[in-house]
């Protein structure tokens, strides 16, 4: 069996994955708070852990992997979005508007993530469906002396877990307090104590509890859902590195204390953040956009996925227009090699071993992408297609886009023609025809790259497909 090695954020080491139960490998990834469209940065962990999910299914079998990714559908941002709609005249109660908004946002999320080639998890629990489990876990924490009720709130007592708190993020409680930007409420025993339950007013969604009508804190939601669906301890917990503290740190504290375990998950994994053209994505810089924005602009989901996978998950990922163009060109070139006959006969057993090995080595997607180029160069089309499928690129979806895109069909034809002329010139030593076509392509706004790996044509910002007519 293939050995899978993953970087454990808690130990700061790449470790072999040793499943607690090989017949049921279990993974939890923190999902979205559903109040608006998913921005491009939200897509990165979805794609990263989709690749891991595919690897686990490939190695252990689809029936032996359980993947949970939650929806946070009770949150102050959701409340604010619903209240804003009510204030401008939307009909229905606030709870109706909240439910309507979360249903709509979940549908958007599914559509957008499906377009990126990601598989749906085994379970997609909604926080509001697990309120009784959250209340029960909070009661246990109070009974065990790890939490206390105060002024309608229930808070986790960090001092009760002080020896272990901070192990994931590498911080001590004293250091955290010194640099804390947390709410220092009068009912807190320690500034680092965090909310498990908070009161709800008439304008907010709420549930009955031993501490009055209220709603759960963010952290307890994931702990309760993970316990209910995966057990007290499971194999992998993932998410963006912005969740390491305080969210994942607090999950560990409350889960271990409530479940009487030494750990919540065996391996913790965190992906780095996304940038746009070398800068942090933000509305103030004007470089903030959603996945849907790109899809509506005509950027295929496969291109977004390709760009994401070209950078290792542990490094910051820089989205640039140039990378998107290069990804589109690469996928177009791959597609030109694939025939319907090959598509009908290829299977999972045809995946190139180097691709599986690369992904098994801490999700080295950039090395796997490099292998795709090598397979294309060698015209090993069965392995190329199987490896594309393994990495989440659906041939039928790619084909549907490119066969309907005349501009890139022309560019693909130009790639084939220039490759043929180059191969002939290498024999005859007469590069006149090659140089002529290169010059015409450059005039049409196409960057021409030729190397030992072959020919690659990349459409630039001034690409004019009309200028390719009559060249081929």
Look at residue 159 in the predicted model and tell me its pLDDT: 95
Q: Where are the beta strands (DSSP E) in 49-183?
A: 65-69, 147-150, 153-156
Share of the chain above pLDDT 70, in %: 93
Q: 354 - beta bridge partners?
A: none
Look at residue 403 in the predicted model and tell me its pLDDT: 57
Give 423-439 pLDDT, tens digit per residue: 898 889 999 998 999 99
Find the range with the poorest average confidence among 254-263, 310-319, 375-384, 414-423: 414-423
pTM of the full predicted structure? 0.85
- Share the mean pLDDT of the chain: 91
Mean pLDDT of 125-147: 97
Give 271-320 pLDDT, tens digit per residue: 999 999 999 888 888 888 999 999 999 899 999 999 999 999 999 999 99
Are 197 and 211 in contact, with CB atoms under 8 Å apart?
yes
Give 3-30 pLDDT, tens digit per residue: 999 999 999 999 999 999 999 999 999 9
Q: Exposed/middle/buried for 291, CB within 10 Å: 0-12, 13-18, 19+?
A: buried
Q: Would you place residue 407 in the very low, low, confident or very high pLDDT band (cuts 50, 70, 90)?
A: low
The C-alpha atoms of residue 384 and residue 376 are separated, in whole angstroms, by 7
Token readout for 329 is 């060109």
Look at residue 351 in the predicted model and tell me its pLDDT: 97
Mean pLDDT of 391-414: 71
Give 183-196 pLDDT, tens digit per residue: 568 889 998 999 99
Residue 182 scores a pLDDT above 70: no
The C-alpha atoms of residue 188 and residue 195 are separated, in whole angstroms, by 10
The C-alpha atoms of residue 155 and residue 423 are separated, in whole angstroms, by 71
Beta strands 147-150 and 279-280, pairing class: unpaired
User: In terms of Cα–Cα distance, which of 44, 71, 20 is closest to 319?
Assistant: 44
- Contacts of 450 by beta carbon, 8 Å cutoff, 6+ apart: 418, 422, 456
């Amino acid at each position: 069996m293939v050995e899978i090695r993953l970087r454990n954020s808690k130990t700061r080491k790449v470790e072999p994955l040793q499943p607690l139960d090989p017949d049921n490998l279990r993974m939890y990834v923190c999902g979205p708070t559903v109040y608006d469209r998913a921005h491009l940065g939200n897509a990165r962990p979805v794609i990263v852990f989709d690749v891991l999910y595919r690897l686990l299914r490939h190695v252990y079998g689809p029936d032996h992997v359980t993947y949970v990714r939650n929806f946070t559908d009770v949150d102050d941002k959701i409340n604010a979005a619903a209240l804003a709609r009510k204030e401008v005249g939307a009909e229905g109660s606030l709870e109706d508007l909240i439910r309507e908004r979360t249903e709509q946002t979940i549908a958007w999320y599914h559509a957008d993530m499906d377009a990126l080639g990601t598989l749906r998890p085994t379970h997609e629990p909604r926080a509001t469906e697990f309120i009784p489990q959250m209340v029960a876990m909070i009661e246990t924490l109070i009974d065990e002396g790890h939490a206390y009720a105060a002024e309608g709130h229930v808070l986790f007592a960090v001092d009760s877990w002080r020896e272990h708190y901070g192990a994931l993020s590498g911080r001590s409680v004293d250091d955290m307090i010194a640099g804390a930007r947390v709410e220092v409420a009068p009912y807190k025993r320690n500034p680092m104590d965090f909310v498990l339950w908070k009161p709800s007013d008439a304008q907010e969604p709420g549930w009955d509890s031993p501490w009055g009508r209220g709603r759960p804190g963010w952290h307890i939601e994931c702990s309760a859902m993970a316990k209910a669906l995966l057990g007290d301890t499971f194999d992998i917990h993932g998410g963006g590195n912005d969740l390491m503290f305080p969210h994942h740190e607090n999950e560990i504290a409350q889960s271990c204390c409530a479940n009487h375990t030494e750990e919540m998950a065996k391996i913790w994994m965190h992906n780095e953040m996304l940038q746009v053209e070398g800068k942090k994505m933000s509305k103030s810089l004007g470089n903030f956009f959603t996945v849907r924005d790109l899809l509506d602009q005509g950027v295929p989901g496969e291109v977004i996925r390709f760009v994401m996978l070209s950078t290792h998950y542990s490094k910051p990922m820089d989205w640039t227009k140039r990378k998107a163009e290069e990804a589109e060109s690469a996928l177009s070139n791959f597609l030109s090699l694939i025939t319907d006959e090959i598509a009908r006969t290829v299977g999972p057993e045809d995946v190139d071993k180097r691709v599986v090995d690369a992904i098994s080595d801490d999700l080295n997607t950039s090395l796997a992408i490099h292998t795709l180029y090598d397979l294309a160069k060698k015209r090993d089309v069965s392995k190329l297609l199987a490896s594309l499928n393994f990495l989440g690129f659906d041939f039928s979806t790619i084909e549907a886009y490119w066969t309907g895109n005349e501009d890139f069909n022309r560019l693909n034809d130009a790639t084939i023609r220039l490759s043929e002329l180059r191969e002939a010139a290498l024999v005859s030593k007469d590069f006149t025809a090659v140089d002529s076509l290169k010059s015409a392509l450059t005039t049409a706004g196409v960057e021409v790259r030729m190397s030992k790996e072959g020919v690659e044509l990349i459409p630039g910002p001034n690409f004019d497909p009309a200028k390719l007519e009559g060249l081929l």
